[in-house]
């Protein structure tokens, strides 16, 4: 048989065999019989050493055309096998969108999100509205309007990320106080959850990105008693038991008087650990009565209206509730941490 005929007969055989493929694996195997490394066409090509240059050229061309043809057969069969497969599976396999998921198939809310929603529920049930604000803020909303005038030394309490255009990443949700005071007419009660940023050295109890919920009440004759009462309700609801608290004087330029509300450390039960820096107490909640200058700057008359404000750190609160001893877990993306049921 001359070389040309040999190719023709391989091609004929290939068409038959390939068309007879029942599955795609079958098809791949059949293709390899002809154009794989050890395929028949490949074998023929290996034996052309004795031909003249002219013959080699013609033979080579034919062999290439034959290989292309075989690829075409394969492609055709593959397409029809696929169509057949999908039309059969579409009819036999049903996807039940109402089937309940197995626990390992679901995602879940991050513990910080969960506690945020819970706190929102507690406050909305007491008549508070929820406010929002941007994460990139103006210097005015984050500092100036909160009585940190000019280069007030209290700015150093909050190491700040500045953007190149002179704005900043808000260092606290108190910026939303400012926005709210301008937007709403008193009396009002609001909370404002949000992500805040500080240029912190990261360790077991400090992160550069964390969460706060700001709270603010403005009305007639609002006093420290209203503040303490509200905080007690909140802590009792969150921890589902009476929580030991202490108030210390605290300084923030936008409250007067200002306090630090501490709770006894729930990770170590007050005996001292890395979270409470071995003091037994955790600073949970700075608060105070809104400074008259802050009201004035927002166009509210401090002779007529008073109010209190607080800033609740969500990360610490979650750490207390679940006895988590390292704040770095929250952003770690560690599934062993996240898969625990909170
Ligand atoms: N914004 C302050 C902080 O993050 C906390 C604060 C809020 C203090 C409200 C008093 C009143 O440090």
Render pLDDT for 2-16 as a digit per residue (tens, 0 to 9): 666 889 999 999 999
What pLDDT, on a 0 to 100 scale, did the predictor assign at position 243?
82
pLDDT at 242: 78
252 lines ligand 1 (CB under 6 A): yes
Ligand 1 pocket check for 261: Cβ under 6 Å: no
How much is the average pLDDT of 304-327? 92
* Per-residue model confidence as pLDDT tens digits over 229-288: 999 899 889 888 778 888 899 999 999 999 999 988 887 888 999 878 899 998 889 999
Specify the residue for token string 């096998």: 81
pLDDT at 107 (0 to 100): 80
CA of 255 to the centre of ligand 1 (A): 9
Ligand 1 neighbour 316 (Cβ under 6 A): no
Q: Is the CB of 309 under 6 A from ligand 1?
A: yes
Q: Which pLDDT does position 1 carry in this prediction?
A: 47
Average pLDDT over residues 102-131: 91
pLDDT attached to residue 275: 78
Name the fold adopted by 111-338: BirA Bifunctional Protein; domain 2 (3.30.930)
For the chain, give the mean pLDDT.
Answer: 91
- Best substitution site from 158, 171, 174, 199 to test ligand 1's pocket, by max atoms within 8 Å of Cβ? 174
Supply the residue whose CA is at minimum distance from atom 7 of ligand 1: 311
Q: Whose CA is nearest to atom 5 of ligand 1?
A: 311
pTM reported for the whole predicted model: 0.68
Closest CA to 323 of 248, 259, 255, 266: 266
Q: Which of 170-174, 223-227, 293-297, 337-341 has the lowest mean pLDDT?
A: 337-341
């Amino acid at each position: 048989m001359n070389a040309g005929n040999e190719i023709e007969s391989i091609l004929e055989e290939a068409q038959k065999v390939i068309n007879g493929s029942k599955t795609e694996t079958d098809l791949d195997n059949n293709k390899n019989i002809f154009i794989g490394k050890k395929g028949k066409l490949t074998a023929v090509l290996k034996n052309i050493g004795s031909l003249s240059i002219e013959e080699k050229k013609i033979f080579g061309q034919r062999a290439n055309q034959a290989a292309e043809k075989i690829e075409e057969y394969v492609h055709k069969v593959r397409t029809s096998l696929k169509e057949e497969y999908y039309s059969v599976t579409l009819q036999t396999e049903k996807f039940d969108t109402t089937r309940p998921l197995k626990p390992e198939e679901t995602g879940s809310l991050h513990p910080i999100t969960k506690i945020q929603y819970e706190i929102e529920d507690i406050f909305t049930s007491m008549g508070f509205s929820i406010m929002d604000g941007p994460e990139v803020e103006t210097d005015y909303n984050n500092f100036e309007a909160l009585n940190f005038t000019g280069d007030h030394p209290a700015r150093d309490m909050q190491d700040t990320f500045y953007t190149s255009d002179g704005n900043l990443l808000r260092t606290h949700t108190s910026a939303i106080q400012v926005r709210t005071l301008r937007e709403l007419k008193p009396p009002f009660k609001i909370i404002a959850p949000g992500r805040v940023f500080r240029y912190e050295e990261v360790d077991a109890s400090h992160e550069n990105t964390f969460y706060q919920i700001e709270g603010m009440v403005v009305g007639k004759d609002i006093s420290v008693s209203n503040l303490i009462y509200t905080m007690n309700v909140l802590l009792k609801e969150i921890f589902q038991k009476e929580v030991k608290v202490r108030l210390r004087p605290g300084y923030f330029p936008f409250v007067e008087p200002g306090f630090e509300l501490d709770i006894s450390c729930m990770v170590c039960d007050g005996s001292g650990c890395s979270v409470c820096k071995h003091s037994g107490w955790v600073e949970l909640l700075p608060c105070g009565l809104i400074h008259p200058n802050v009201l004035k700057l927002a166009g509210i008359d401090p002779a007529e209206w008073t109010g209190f404000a607080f800033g609740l750190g969500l990360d610490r609160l979650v750490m207390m509730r679940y006895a988590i001893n390292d704040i770095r877990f929250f952003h770690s993306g560690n599934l062993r941490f996240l898969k625990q049921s909170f």
